[in-house]
Amino acid sequence: MHFPDELTPMEELLRGLDDLVSAGKIHHGALSNFPAWRVSRAVTLADLRNQAPIIGIQHEYSLVERTADREILPMAESLGLGAALWSPLGGGLLTGKYRSSAEGRLSDLGMVIHTESTDQKISVVDTVLAIAQETGVTPAQVAVAWVRERAARSVATLVPIIGPRNLSQLDSYLAALDVKLTDKQYTRLAEVSAVPLGAPHEGIGVSPDRLHGGAADRITAPVVPVA
């Protein structure tokens, strides 16, 4: 994984990854926390130069951080890239623990990735807690189950990265594998956590029939094989 460095030309990064693959030090190259346009360019350049392909990306994604829905994940689906999604619990916010205590990242590291700093984040945590009570599982398991269901509905391979710091947290993560949200629960969480897609996506979204010559209901988006 390489983290974005605007000072390093993409051509140089790709050459380095290609050398590492050729030397047998890594199997594949992937990019972490790069904007969509740089990843797309990297994929294209590697293909044109017959270099080791870029096969995946890594990006933050959770119910409190879904901006990857704008460009990052659609790009992954279109180019057949896998995506490793870090911080599926929003730095612990989605467990609801910070409503009663600062213990966790806030006390141990002096920082958290997310806080209930907006009305939307408050609503997201409220909904996660409500669904956890309905299903009889923990809020953390609900949050991870939603990301897994989001992955199941994608043509790309989306894999949440877990970060347990003790055995209890690991057990909680693993138990999420057995949590199945209903369609209504998934939709409630998807709607409360949705981010504005911005232009041009929202403009396109309100008039698909006109843009497809009056036949939007007859068009199926192509499915790209996942790398």
Question: Tens digits of per-residue pLDDT, 169-192?
Answer: 899 899 999 999 999 999 999 999
For 157, other C-beta atoms within 10 Å of its C-beta total 17
pLDDT at 226 (0 to 100):
42
* Within-domain flag for 76: no
Eight-class DSSP state of 99: G
Q: Are 7 and 37 in contact (CB under 8 A)?
A: no
Q: Taking the model in full, what pTM does it have?
A: 0.85
Whole-number pLDDT of residue 223: 53
Determine, yes or no, domain membership for 20. no
Residue 147 lies in a domain: yes
Mean pLDDT of the region 1-25:
86
DSSP-derived pairing of the beta strands 82-86 and 29-32: unpaired
Q: How far apart are CA 95 and CA 78, in angstroms?
A: 32
pLDDT computed for residue 181 by the predictor: 97
Evaluate if residue 26 carries a pLDDT over 80: yes
pLDDT surpassing 50 at residue 27: yes
What is the domain range of residue 149? 87-195
Helices within 63-155 (DSSP H only): 72-79, 105-108, 119-135, 139-152
Confidence band for 225, pLDDT divided at 50, 70 and 90: very low
Which contacts (CB < 8 Å, 24+ apart) does range 65-74 have? 65/90, 65/113, 65/114, 66/193, 66/194, 66/195, 67/195, 69/194, 69/195, 69/197, 70/195, 70/197, 70/198, 70/201, 71/35, 71/36, 72/36, 72/39, 73/154, 73/156, 73/158
User: In this structure, is residue 135 part of a structural domain?
Assistant: yes
